[in-house]
Structure 1
């Protein structure tokens, strides 16, 4: 008996995804554990494994299809020698205009010739609509068609198996507005392909780039954060000289193990320890309760093509610097390859974003709910500094700004955390004790 293979939920919050690539084809034999497809979620590209063994009888959703809802049948698996049941023949569509229907039936001319003659009803059936009354179109094409009033029944699909895609709707819209072929755009000017009316057209050459799923999630979550979370910002200047000196000594000692600590690794450790020293900041606000975390899991912002992701170093305060460095390097590499698993980027009790390596002196980061704080790290630079003996000297100093959810964390508690972090960085032997 054939088994339906359904779109999986690859994370607790996943509702839909993009079927990026099929790694099998119809007729292939698979066993449990074989990789069937690559599926893009809003944060990563993940491999989908077979659970049962058998032969791929049919593939219902072609690769590249976006917004496939969890639970949708994407393929059918059967036992060896089994074949897919023939699809039920759809009844012929009813045509109200009988003369037009009769005129259309005997036409054997190619589609362009049929489309050339005007007819009050559908004179020729486009390839995308040959499956009875069902029109095969991508969700994006349907949405654009609804917004622009394009009738998909009259659109010729250029996608797999005659599927209507965005470009087909765009072409159809352009065709209804201008029956004659439009003049080519001037050389050097990008052609705008978006049909959105959200932005006015001031006559400036432009190109609309479709948002990735990740970028949509970032836009939604950060908008919600700034609208719903009352941010309070606290900034301290931190002297780095002692930490840089200790880092040099540790790296010399760890060279034989091929481990090289970064300043960021040591700052992650400092934040984890500071959160354990000031537990009032290691919390999440949940309306009528405050969730107090018993360990510090630090989410670290990593920039990747198309967006930003925050892999998590768990239980930071209990780990050594070498282990943190190794884990962070592995997580960053997986993030850039789009191979992070959900448990590696979902969760965390606080975040750290370091733009100092990009030369940014100071910035205010946006909190990532349900977390209640994020630390923004600026660049270390040589500045005038009053030394312990009261003399004026030069020190390597960085500005660090903490963003706190004021519903959960009072200014005094936030200040305590910033002080604890500064002391751990300026007296870094505490990081290895």
Structure 2
């Protein structure tokens, strides 16, 4: 009996992924633990292992296919002694041989790949006698019928002007011309705001962007980039941000870092300024627990430890691996973990539990010479700290004299639904105090 291999859920939130690469082909013998494929999720590329033994009978989803839903059959394995002569279904995109019966496909698959509907659906795509022929997919016809939309008044965005699902999904019932324009309300309402985000995304997706006739290169969006776009849009549209900035003197922290690096050299550990700032943020969150929170529609979640998400730039986009329990870990351990996590993040090899969660984030653009910036909150976290470059500036010294000091601007972005301005200000003062008197980070 053939064993179906289905698209796995490689993280608790994964709903679909990209089948990036097959590492086996039809006819290969596999055993439990063999790597079958590489699958790109919304944050990383992960290896998919075989559970059963047998021979790969067929490959149902070609490598490079986007939007493969969790649970979709992607291949089949024939058990030992069973014939494996089944033809691969999707290894080649060539049309079937003359006289051969076409492979059945769902309406959604037909639309996604710009293909005609299944042979058995041809009758539904034909116009009634005496009426002008309208090119439309069966799925688009069904949605149009449910909404009372007249297809003849629509312009199709599919191949050869064919009307597809996206052309009719955003239309009002009984109207074949006017798409619904989402009205974002300015007053309070019970919903979380996700409905508005979904409507805006739906309308945007149904209207192709006009590309200027200028020499350019087009790069297909990765799952990581799509997720970044979706989450940042949701964050800015649904989370009321409040921004608080402090200037912090770094000289004492830099001196302490130099001493610690000299002492840790024999252990092969080198601390960065960012490692110490991660520790300072974690310690600040424990001093001001009102900022170590997460907002939900009906609850305010207060965390008992500080897990800090550290923004790391990768070729695929920004990802935030997590230093768990940063409030209790020594800075040497934090430095080692960040280095290891950042390396695997750039290789796309992070495990889901290593980038999902966190109680707050830190983003440091000081190495690029950025003086100050406002970061976007990473939902559902309640705050993110944006750190700029340290630079020599005129500074009033503790004795009242004017001197020159190394100053860094740090801006906290807070979810104003969960964190009041005064509480955010208290956190920024706690952070400033720990950085300017850094021995407290070692206590």
Show the counterpart of 1:237: 247
Query: Quick one: distance in 2 between partners of 1:83 and 1:202?
Result: 54
Show the counterpart of 2:54: 54
Show the counterpart of 1:13: 13
Query: Quick one: distance in 1 between partners of 2:44 and 2:278?
Result: 23
Show the counterpart of 2:375: 365
Partners of 1:67 and 1:139 within 8 A in 2: no
Show the counterpart of 2:397: 387
Residue 413 of structure 2 aligns to a residue in which SS?
strand
How far does the alpha carbon of each residue in 1:275-319 deviate from its partner, in whole angstroms, 9 at most, with x for none? 011100000011221001111000011111131100000000110
Match of 1:422 among 414, 417, 432: 432
Higher alpha-carbon Rg? 1
Q: CA deviation at 1:198?
A: 3.4
Query: Quick one: distance in 2 between partners of 1:130 and 1:401?
Result: 65
Residue 317 of structure 1 aligns to a residue in which SS?
coil
Matches within 5 A, 1:147-186: none
Partners of 1:66 and 1:139 within 8 A in 2: no
Show the counterpart of 1:132: 102
Show the counterpart of 1:216: 226
Query: Quick one: distance in 2 between partners of 1:206 and 1:24?
Result: 36
Partners of 1:267 and 1:425 within 8 A in 2: yes
Partners of 1:334 and 1:340 within 8 A in 2: yes
Query: Quick one: distance in 2 between partners of 1:320 and 1:398?
Result: 23
2:268 aligned with 1:258: yes
Show the counterpart of 2:191: none
Matches within 5 A, 1:229-378: 229-378=239-388
Query: Quick one: distance in 2 between partners of 1:141 and 1:59?
Result: 21
Partners of 1:373 and 1:405 within 8 A in 2: yes
Q: CA deviation at 1:209?
A: 2.8
Residue 385 of structure 2 aligns to a residue in which SS?
strand
Query: Quick one: distance in 2 between partners of 1:282 and 1:244?
Result: 27
Residue 216 of structure 1 aligns to a residue in which SS?
helix
Q: CA deviation at 1:128?
A: 11
How far does the alpha carbon of each residue in 1:93-121 deviate from its partner, in whole angstroms, 9 at most, with x for none? xxxxxxxxxxxxxxxxxxxxxxxxxxxxx
Q: CA deviation at 1:392?
A: 0.6
Q: CA deviation at 1:126?
A: 6.6
Q: Judging changes above 3 Å, is the alpha-carbon distance between structure 1 residues 355 and 72 closer, same or farther for their aligned structure 2 residues?
A: same
Q: Judging changes above 3 Å, is the alpha-carbon distance between structure 1 residues 5 and 201 closer, same or farther for their aligned structure 2 residues?
A: closer
- In structure 2, runs of 5+ residues without a counterpart are 88-94, 117-133, 138-156, 162-204
Query: Quick one: distance in 2 between partners of 1:253 and 1:274?
Result: 26
Q: Judging changes above 3 Å, is the alpha-carbon distance between structure 1 residues 382 and 297 closer, same or farther for their aligned structure 2 residues?
A: same
How far does the alpha carbon of each residue in 1:12-60 deviate from its partner, in whole angstroms, 9 at most, with x for none? 1111111111112222222221111110001100001111222222222
Query: Quick one: distance in 2 between partners of 1:281 and 1:151?
Result: 53
Show the counterpart of 1:406: 416
Q: Judging changes above 3 Å, is the alpha-carbon distance between structure 1 residues 65 and 384 closer, same or farther for their aligned structure 2 residues?
A: same
Show the counterpart of 1:112: none
Q: CA RMSD in A?
A: 2.8
Residue 379 of structure 1 aligns to a residue in which SS?
strand
How far does the alpha carbon of each residue in 1:329-355 deviate from its partner, in whole angstroms, 9 at most, with x for none? 010000000001100000000000001
Query: Across the two proteins, how many residue pairs are aligned to each other?
Result: 358
Show the counterpart of 1:142: 112
Partners of 1:145 and 1:151 within 8 A in 2: no
Report the TM-score, using the length of structure 2 for normalisation: 0.75
Q: CA deviation at 1:408?
A: 0.2
Deviates more, 1:417-426 or 1:69-78: 69-78
Query: Quick one: distance in 2 between partners of 1:140 and 1:255?
Result: 61
Show the counterpart of 1:34: 34
Report the TM-score, using the length of structure 1 for normalisation: 0.77
